[in-house]
Structure 1
Amino acid sequence: MEWIDKALHFFGLGWLNGMIAVGSVAFAVLAYIWARKRTKISHVHLGEHLLGSASDSLPPAIVVQYNGHSIPRLTKSLLIIWNSGENTITGDAIVEKDPLRVQIGEDGKILSVSVLKTSRAVNDFRTVPYVNEQANEAILSFDFLDSNDGAVIEILHTSTDRKPRLKGTLRGLPKGFTNVGQFTRPKPQKRSKAGKLADVVFSPLVLASAGFLFALYGPRPSVLPPDGGNSFVPGVLGGFFGMWVAYAYGARRRYPRALHLEALE
């Protein structure tokens, strides 16, 4: 049958050996990634003004108090911090002269700081207000952090800056902490049946399958040399596979699943 002959010709091409070689290299790279041992702490942040704004204080007619003291604005910042390496990090790695701490803008004061969630209670992740004149900082401490262990920290403060900063020095982390950036809440959208169908039709998997079938049975583009066999096929497959990888990478959650909260959506 004609389609069987085409399939046999397709799988008998020399480019298949090349793809196997590329796959072997990719497997070697992945094996290196899985086997490596790093000491690394990463964090993402999220902030919003609950009352007031970055440029203006509350109107004079509106008075907001916290523990009996008037405040110009109320800002909430979230900091998600976790062990993004493979090595266990113990609490005694924190340098006493430069403790691990979260810091807000110098124009504000921390009103409260709390741990909303931890990966495991046994990590004993804690926060305490700074005991000196630095009212815009709070100390963080923990017993140990295995890979992907961490915590979600909430800071209520009066600064115009919504971005919290992670400060301090840990032994074994000469380059400091890795700032992954701002976590953006996904916008809730109501999808119609047509929209959901479009998501399926134009999904990377469906597009890759369509490209495979077109490359195998469709007409050969005139811009390609006539004696080049079906070299068009691996190019199409590679392009759609690369698109799928880029899509999956961009849609990933940047922090461990164990630290996910409904409030972050």
Structure 2
Amino acid sequence: MSWIDYAQGLLDKSWLGTLLGIAGIVFAVFTYLWTRRRTSLAYVYLGEHLLGSASDALPPEIVVQYDGMSIPRLTKSTLIFWNSGENTVSGEDIVDKDPLRFRVGDDGKILSISIVKSSRAVNDFSLRELPDHIFNEMGFTFDFLDANDGVVVEILHTSTDRRPSIKGTLKGLPKGFRNLGQFTRPKPQKKKQSTWSSFLWGLSPLVVGVGGFLAAVYGPRPALFLTNPDTGLFFYSFLGVFVGMWLNNRFWARRKYPKSLYTEALE
């Protein structure tokens, strides 16, 4: 049999066409994700009441002062802000009439705000008071932000709302800033696995998936699958769920913010 006849025989198999179609779709998706260019700024937050609570102020018997001023409660909000797109964002695109600013609840006042970590000093990220002296807002600016450039900001304030937000207008960003919600504290790092064990564990779902596909095409069909087709459907569905869970854990269940902004203060 010539190689042409062999190739023709392969193309006549229906499963090969299906496999090539799936491979083409996967390749197209990865190509799109690799080459796309977006302008996007995002943030996540974490808040906690250090003194007092969301519903009640401190008891009258307890007096807490900050810089000589009595406060009803003390709330700490940590906000991680970064360039979540691929395009560089310039500080020159900040609209003067609607400057960028961090904001806490209307019932609170910002006591102090500090930059805990910045991805790169060259971004020249800085805080500045607003001319109107709004108590629950603090302005900020930067020179530029490349992909994954950003800062970690810690805000001490008196608001009952632990969720900070970002306000303001930036040219080329009509939908504003993406609020990705509350982030979870990183878990303590376990003992590092060896390179080989990590490599084998990472490949295991792929091996199981490919092995299951080859077994379904070439392997003998168990009698149980022949007498009850639903059993085979359940088996391969379970296999697909296993591979999907691995992909989710591998690619999506990671920190939402860049690793360059990780700091021990977040633990």
TM range (shorter): 0.7 to 0.9
Residue 197 of structure 1 corresponds to none
Deviations 1:224-265, CA, capped at 9 Å, x for gaps: 4799xx999875653322121123344211011101112222
Instruction: Report if the CA contact (8 A) 1:114-1:153 is conserved.
Output: yes
Offset at residue 91 of structure 1 (A): 0.5
Sequence identity of aligned pairs in percent? 55
Deviations 1:143-163, CA, capped at 9 Å, x for gaps: 000011111111100000000
Deviations 1:195-243, CA, capped at 9 Å, x for gaps: xxxxx9xx8865775677678479726354799xx99987565332212
Residue 38 of structure 1 corresponds to 38
Instruction: Report if the CA contact (8 A) 2:55-2:160 is conserved.
Output: yes
Provide structure 2 residue ranges, at least 5 long, that are not aligned to the other structure: 1-11, 192-197
Map residues 62-101 of structure 1 onto 2, 5 A cutoff. Answer: 62-101=62-101
Distance in 1 between residues matched to 2:189 and 2:57, nearest whole Å: 32
Residue 138 of structure 2 corresponds to 138
One-letter code of the match for 2:43?
H
CA RMSD of aligned residues (A): 3.2
Secondary structure (helix, strand or coil) at the match of 1:57 reads coil
Residue 244 of structure 2 corresponds to 242
Distance in 2 between residues matched to 1:20 and 1:143, nearest whole Å: 47
Residue 8 of structure 1 corresponds to none
Provide structure 1 residue ranges, at least 5 long, that are not aligned to the other structure: 1-11, 192-199
Runs of 4+ in 1 over 4 A off after TM superposition: 186-191, 203-215, 223-227, 230-237
Instruction: Report if the CA contact (8 A) 1:100-1:168 is conserved.
Output: yes
Residue 150 of structure 2 corresponds to 150
| TM-score (structure 2 length as normaliser) | 0.79
1:48 maps to 2:48: yes
Offset at residue 122 of structure 1 (A): 0.3
Offset at residue 26 of structure 1 (A): 1.0
| TM-score (structure 1 length as normaliser) | 0.79
Offset at residue 19 of structure 1 (A): 2.3
Which of 204-213 and 238-247 deviates more? 204-213
Relative to structure 1, the CA distance from residue 135 to residue 19 in structure 2 (aligned partners, 3 Å threshold; closer, same or farther) is same
Instruction: Report if the CA contact (8 A) 2:205-2:243 is conserved.
Output: no
Residue 129 of structure 1 corresponds to 129
Distance in 2 between residues matched to 1:180 and 1:13, nearest whole Å: 46
Relative to structure 1, the CA distance from residue 155 to residue 204 in structure 2 (aligned partners, 3 Å threshold; closer, same or farther) is same
Aligned residues: 242
Which of 127-136 and 164-173 deviates more? 127-136
